[in-house]
């Protein structure tokens, strides 16, 4: 269980980066794409900086 708990942040970060890269492939306008991505990057930064103070929890599996 502890190994899985350590794997979740890495998995979510990979999903986030994949979605970010996918959305950046040939956008209609790169400036608009950048403006749309900035809030997600700010949120990621805030979560990363406060991960020890406000730890995300796992859902109980039964």
Looking at per-residue pLDDT, the higher value among 35 and 5 belongs to: 35
pLDDT tens digits along 13-47? 999 999 999 999 999 999 999 999 999 999 999 98
| pLDDT value, residue 3 | 72
35 lies in some domain: yes
- Domain range enclosing 34: 2-49
| pLDDT value, residue 23 | 94
In the predicted structure, residue 61 carries a pLDDT above the cut 70: no
CA–CA distance, 17 with 20 (Å, rounded to integer): 5
Domains identified in the chain, total number = 1
60 lies in some domain: no
CA–CA distance, 10 with 22 (Å, rounded to integer): 18
| pLDDT value, residue 1 | 61
């Amino acid at each position: 269980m502890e190994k899985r708990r350590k794997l979740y942040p890495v998995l979510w970060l990979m999903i986030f980066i994949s979605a970010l890269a996918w959305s950046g492939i040939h956008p209609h306008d790169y400036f608009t794409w950048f403006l749309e991505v900035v809030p997600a990057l700010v949120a990621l930064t805030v979560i990363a900086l406060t991960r020890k103070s406000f730890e995300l929890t796992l859902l109980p599996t039964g």
